[in-house]
Structure 1
Amino acid sequence: MKTYIAGPMTGLPDYNRAAFFAAAEEITASGGIPLNTAFLPDGLSDADYMAISLTMLQCADAIYLLDGWRGSAGARAEYALAEKLGIRILPAGHA
């Protein structure tokens, strides 16, 4: 199962990459394929990050919501799109 990882990044140390990479390991260990935006390079605009992220999400079978996702405007948008598209919603720890 292709699983998109969503959560807070902006304003967090190293953009919260550690949490994204830990989730990716959990998804891989359960036999899934993580779609992880934490691999994107620094320096893009917010619009660029969202365009790439939403495209990745549209390829997913599920979305994995990291702790604190509700505090992120981007993650809330990703959740709303996943809900609209009927993509399975997975809370953190349920890969």
Structure 2
Amino acid sequence: MKVFISGPMKGYPNFNKEAFDQAEKELVQQGYTVFNPAWMDFSGEWTKQDKRAIDAAIMSRCDAVYQLPGWDGLENSGSRMEYAFAQEAGMIFLEKDADSFFFVVNKED
């Protein structure tokens, strides 16, 4: 199963890369194929629209989304957009408990 990691970046030290990388490590250990947006370097001429288009293209190829804590904060329009995209596309949401990740098929607001 291909999983897109969604979460807050803006306003976090190092764009929250450590949290994204930790989630990636744990998901891969459980056998998931992961796309971690923290891999990308969005410096330079990449606009907000460019980033959203890239996210949507990649998410359209994934089966599930895992949201890092804080994804729904007011500053995180990107991760809120990813949530809306995932809902509209009928993607599976993964959540995490102390031991492992688990499925939430129909996530409501």
If the TM-score is normalised by the length of the shorter chain, which range does it land in?
over 0.9
1:13 maps onto 2:17 in alignment: no
Shift of 1:53: 1.1
Match of residue 33 from structure 2 = 33
Larger Rg: 2
Distance 1:35 1:29 in 2: 14
Letter in 1 for 2:28: T
Of the two structures, which has the highest relative contact order with CA contacts closer than 8 Å and spacing of 6 or more? 1
- Which structure is higher in helix share? 1
| Structural mapping, 1:1-95, within 5 Å | 1-43=1-43, 44-71=46-73, 72-93=76-97, 94=101
SS of 1:50's equivalent?
helix
Structure 1 window deviating more from structure 2 (35-44 vs 84-93): it is 84-93
Cα deviation digits, residues 6-64 of structure 1 (max 9, x gap) = 00001110000000010110110000111111011131222211111111111111000
Unmatched tracts of structure 2, length 5 or more: 103-109
> Equivalents in 2 of 1:49, 1:28: separation in Å?
24
Q: TM-score, normalised by structure 1?
A: 0.93
SS of aligned partner of 1:34: strand
Corresponding residue SS for 1:42: coil
Which amino acid in structure 2 is aligned with residue 86 of structure 1? G
Give the conservation status (yes or no) of the 8 Å contact 1:65–1:92: no
Q: TM-score, normalised by structure 2?
A: 0.81
Q: Post-superposition, which runs of at least 4 consecutive aligned residues in structure 1 deviate over 3 A?
A: none
Note closer, same or farther for the CA distance 1:92–1:70 as it changes in structure 2 (3 Å cut): farther
